[in-house]
C-alpha cells in the first residue's frame, strides 16, 4: 500500500494550476529598471490617478523618463475609459453596465499603482495595447 493522499517528491514537480486572481506571468515585467527612481515612481503612481495622469507627460523632468511615459500612456487611456464610463451613466440600463466598467477601471488603476510601487511594469489588459498604439 504505497498509495497516499499526499504527493510524493516526484509528483510535486508537476505543474500546478494557477491560483484564482493571480496575475499571469506574461503580463508582469519583473526586470527592475534603472530609470525608476523615487521621482519616477511618483510619476508612475500619478499616472493612474484621474486628472493627475497628465502631469508625467508635461513635467520636463519626467518627460524623458521611459518608465514614467509607459505608465502615463496607460494612465491616460484608462482615464479616457473612466470618463466614458462616467458620461454613459445617464440611462438606467447603461448605468449598471458602466458602473461595472468603472469598477474594473478603478481596479486596473489600483493594480497599476501596486506594480508601480514595486518598480515593475504591468501591462494592463487591453489598456496597454491601446496605449502602445497611441501617439502620446
Q: Which three cell numbers stand for residue 128?
A: 496597454
Instruction: Please give the pLDDT value at position 3.
Output: 55
Q: What are phi and psi of 125, to 5 degrees?
A: -55, 135
* One pLDDT digit (tens) per residue for the chain, 136 residues: 555 554 554 444 545 555 555 566 566 665 555 546 788 888 888 889 888 888 888 887 777 788 888 888 899 999 998 887 777 776 776 778 778 888 999 998 999 899 999 988 888 888 888 888 887 7
Domain ranges of the chain: 33-133
Residue in the block written with cell 449598471: 96
Instruction: Please give the pLDDT value at position 114.
Output: 93
Amino acid at each position: 500500500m504505497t498509495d497516499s493522499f499526499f504527493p510524493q517528491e516526484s509528483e510535486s514537480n508537476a505543474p500546478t494550476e494557477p491560483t484564482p486572481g493571480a496575475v499571469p506571468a506574461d503580463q508582469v515585467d519583473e526586470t527592475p529598471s534603472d530609470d525608476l527612481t523615487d521621482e519616477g515612481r511618483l510619476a508612475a503612481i500619478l499616472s493612474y490617478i484621474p486628472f493627475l495622469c497628465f502631469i508625467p507627460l508635461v513635467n520636463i523632468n519626467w518627460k524623458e523618463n521611459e518608465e514614467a511615459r509607459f505608465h502615463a500612456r496607460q494612465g491616460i487611456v484608462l482615464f479616457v475609459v473612466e470618463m466614458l464610463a462616467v458620461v454613459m451613466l445617464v440611462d438606467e440600463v447603461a448605468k449598471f453596465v458602466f458602473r461595472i466598467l468603472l469598477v474594473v477601471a478603478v481596479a486596473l488603476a489600483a493594480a497599476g499603482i501596486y506594480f508601480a510601487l514595486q518598480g515593475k511594469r504591468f501591462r494592463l489588459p487591453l489598456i496597454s495595447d491601446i496605449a502602445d498604439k497611441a501617439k502620446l
